[in-house]
Amino acid sequence: MSRKQITGIGPAPRTGVDDSGCPILHVDMDAFFASVELLDRPELRGRPMIVGSPAGRGVVLSATYEARAYGVHSAMPMSRARRLCPQAAVIPPSHGKYAEVSRGVMEIFHAITPLVEPIASDEAFLDVGGARRRLGPAGAIAALIRAQVLDRFGITCSVGVASSKFVAKLASKQCKPDGLLVVPADEVVAFLHPLPVSALWGVGERTEQALVRLGIRTVGDLARVPPATLQRELGQAVGTHLAALAWGRDERPVTAHAPDKSIGNEETFAVDVDDPEVIRRELLRLSEKVAARLRKGGHVGRTVSVKLRRADFSTITRSRTLKEPTDVAQEIYATACGLFEAAGLERVRLRLVGVRMENLRAADSASHQLALGERETGWREAERAMDKAIRRFGPDAVLPASLVRGRLDEMEA
Is 28 among the annotated ligand-binding positions? yes
Q: For residue 312, what is the domain's CATH number?
A: 3.30.1490.100
Q: Are residues 216 and 176 in the same domain?
A: no
Q: Are residues 322 and 373 in the same domain?
A: yes
Q: Is residue 308 part of a domain?
A: yes
Q: Are residues 181 and 197 in the same domain?
A: no
15 has a pLDDT exceeding 70:
no
State the pLDDT confidence band at 50, using cuts at 50, 70 and 90: very high
In angstroms, what CA-CA distances link 286 with 107, 216, 261, 395? 28, 45, 18, 13
Q: Are residues 236 and 205 in the same domain?
A: yes
Q: What pLDDT is stored for residue 331 in this prediction? A: 94
Q: Is residue 252 part of a domain?
A: no
Q: Is residue 345 part of a domain?
A: yes
Q: What pLDDT is stored for residue 380 in this prediction? A: 60
Mean pLDDT for the stretch of residues 73-92 = 94
Mean pLDDT for the stretch of residues 268-282 = 91
Q: Is 399 exposed, middle or buried (0-12, 13-18, 19+ CB in 10 A)?
A: middle
Q: Are residues 230 and 296 in the same domain?
A: no
Alpha carbon 284 to chain centroid distance?
24
Nearest to 357 by CA among 331, 380, 379, 386: 331
9 has a pLDDT exceeding 60:
no
Q: Count of CB atoms within 10 A of residue 11's CB?
A: 13
Q: Are residues 172 and 33 in the same domain?
A: yes
Mean pLDDT for the stretch of residues 249-264 = 84
Percent of the chain with pLDDT over 70: 83
Mean pLDDT for the stretch of residues 382-404 = 55
**Domain end residue (candidates: 134, 167, 186):** 186
**Domain end residue (candidates: 186, 208, 228):** 186
Enclosing domain of residue 224:
193-246
Distance CA(188)–CA(219), nearest Å, equals 12
Q: What pLDDT is stored for residue 268 in this prediction? A: 87
DSSP 340-387: HHHTT-TTS-EEEEEEEEEEEEE--GGGPPPPTT--SSSHHHHHHHHH
What would the pLDDT profile of 313-348 be if each residue is shown by its tens digit? 888 999 999 999 999 999 999 999 999 999 999 889
Q: Is residue 158 part of a domain?
A: yes
3-class secondary-structure state, position 261: coil
Q: Are residues 182 and 198 in the same domain?
A: no
Q: Is residue 346 part of a domain?
A: yes
Q: H or E stretch including 62?
A: strand 62-63
371 has a pLDDT exceeding 80:
no
Mean pLDDT for the stretch of residues 101-119 = 95
Q: Is residue 147 part of a domain?
A: yes
Sequence-separated (6 or more) residues with CB below 8 Å from residue 149: 29, 105, 108, 155, 156, 157
Highest mean pLDDT pick, 20-29, 198-207, 261-270, 355-364? 20-29
To the nearest whole number, what is the mean pLDDT of the chain?
Answer: 86
Q: Which of the residue ranges 68-72, 120-124, 406-410 would you say has the lowest mean pLDDT?
A: 406-410
**Domain end residue (candidates: 159, 186, 213):** 186
Question: pTM of the predicted model, to two decimals?
Answer: 0.71
Q: For residue 74, what is the domain's CATH number?
A: 3.30.70.270
Q: What pLDDT is stored for residue 177 in this prediction? A: 94
What would the pLDDT profile of 199-235 be if each residue is shown by its tens digit? 998 888 888 998 999 899 999 999 999 999 999 988 8
Say how many domains are in the chain. 3
State the pLDDT confidence band at 38, using cuts at 50, 70 and 90: very high
Q: Which of the residue ranges 17-21, 56-60, 217-221 would you say has the lowest mean pLDDT?
A: 56-60
State the pLDDT confidence band at 363, using cuts at 50, 70 and 90: confident
User: Of the residues 37, 66, 123, 187, which is catalytic?
Assistant: 123
Q: H or E stretch including 270?
A: strand 262-273
Q: Are residues 176 and 199 in the same domain?
A: no
262 has a pLDDT exceeding 90:
no
Q: Give catalytic status of residue 123 as yes or no.
A: yes
Mean pLDDT for the stretch of residues 128-154 = 95
49 has a pLDDT exceeding 60:
yes
Q: Is residue 254 part of a domain?
A: no
State the pLDDT confidence band at 305, using cuts at 50, 70 and 90: very high
160 near 183, Cβ under 8 Å?
A: yes
Alpha carbon 100 to chain centroid distance?
15
219 near 197, Cβ under 8 Å?
A: yes
309 has a pLDDT exceeding 80:
yes
Q: Are residues 216 and 111 in the same domain?
A: no
Q: Is residue 130 part of a domain?
A: yes
Higher pLDDT, 257 or 231: 231
Q: Are residues 180 and 217 in the same domain?
A: no
Q: H or E stretch including 182?
A: strand 179-182
Q: Are residues 236 and 276 in the same domain?
A: no
Phi, psi at 13, each rounded to 5°:
-60, 140
State the pLDDT confidence band at 57, using cuts at 50, 70 and 90: confident
Q: H or E stretch including 271?
A: strand 262-273
376 has a pLDDT exceeding 80:
no
Q: Are residues 240 and 278 in the same domain?
A: no
Q: Is 8 exposed, middle or buried (0-12, 13-18, 19+ CB in 10 A)?
A: exposed
Q: For residue 238, what is the domain's CATH number?
A: 1.10.150.20
370 has a pLDDT exceeding 50:
no
Q: What pLDDT is stored for residue 410 in this prediction? A: 47
Q: What pLDDT is stored for residue 122 in this prediction? A: 94
Q: What pLDDT is stored for residue 248 in this prediction? A: 92
